[in-house]
Amino acid sequence: KVELEYDASDKMDSSTKHCYVCVVKEALSNIMKYSGATYVKITVREHPALYQLCVEDNGHGCADNMNKTTGIGLKNMQERVSTLNGTLRIESEKGFRIFVVIPKEMQ
């Protein structure tokens, strides 16, 4: 089961949209391959100065000895987010959670 919570305007710039689509695609691919999850929640929120994306599941997370930044897919996510001056945080305590923040461009 996948739940989507979308709370952002239609004015999100195309580079942020593209980044979020790529992150979600990679996250869902990893969830299907590795997590054993039965539920995934994708949340997109807009704040006055930034956009937020969170993809989280109820799977088993990753092993303690696995470095969460070594996979090619995870590195690609980090590069895409960094290009937009954003931050990417990955947690695997209870399930797997990818949290991305991208600042809005200053006008």
Contacts of 74 (CB under 8 A, 6+ apart): 26, 30, 68, 90
CA distance 105 to 51: 11
- What residues pair up with 43 in beta bridges, in sequence order? 5, 54
Over residues 39-53, the pLDDT tens digits come to 999 999 999 999 999
Would you call 52 exposed, middle or buried from its count of C-beta atoms within 10 A (0-12, 13-18, 19+)? Answer: middle
pTM: 0.88
Over residues 21-36, the pLDDT tens digits come to 999 999 999 888 888 8
H/E stretch holding 98:
strand 97-103
